[in-house]
Structure 1
């Protein structure tokens, strides 16, 4: 019975680690999900109902929120309010919006 060499083991371990991010891909937040509805999340900040969310301002969107976890120029990002399972849109908004520092 042959035993794998250290080089083969390291190659297999590296390959497995590189495959994990591909398996962990996320999808856009479903606006109808319980969390999205509770937070008033919309993929487009211009579609937020001002009667329901009077603190909303047109200049507020996910990419300038402190919970945005990507570059401000990225179209989609993870958000601390939604965990790692779903992404929010750059031009989205929710009631947890808080101005990003800077």
Structure 2
């Protein structure tokens, strides 16, 4: 019985290596975003857009209070999405708001 050519073996090796690299690339996807309807978000009154916060329910809220200017926000001011100490590994919207909002130090 004849052995397959070396070229065949190398092609198979490259194909398997390519599949491994593709699976690693898929593992580096962006973190999940907070769902406004989740139990934790509802408990904190979280909204993706500070302008859509219920003023009657949260009378101390102002539209100047945004996640991206909160001390718990783990992104830069102006970032569309970033981490938050209140939501663990999930991302929150920069223009969002929740009850835990605290002005970031200047």
TM, length-normalised to structure 1: 0.75
Q: Aligned residue for 2:101?
A: 97
User: What corresponds to 1:79 in structure 2?
Assistant: 84
2:43 equivalent to 1:34: no
The structure richer in strand per residue is 1
Q: Deviations over 1:42-82 (max 9, x none)?
A: 00000000111111011000000000101112110000000
Aligned length: 83
Moved over 4 A (4+): none
> Partners of 1:64 and 1:22 in 2: how far apart?
27
Query: Computing the radius of gyration over CA atoms, which structure comes out larger, 1 or 2?
Result: 2
Return the match for 1:44 from 45, 49, 53. 49
CA RMSD of aligned residues (A): 1.7
Of 18, 22, 31, which residue of structure 1 is paired with 2:28?
22
Q: Could you tell me how far apart the structure 1 residues matched to 2:47 and 2:94 are? A: 11
Q: Which residue of 2 aligns with 1:69?
A: 74
Unaligned runs of 5+ in 2: 1-20
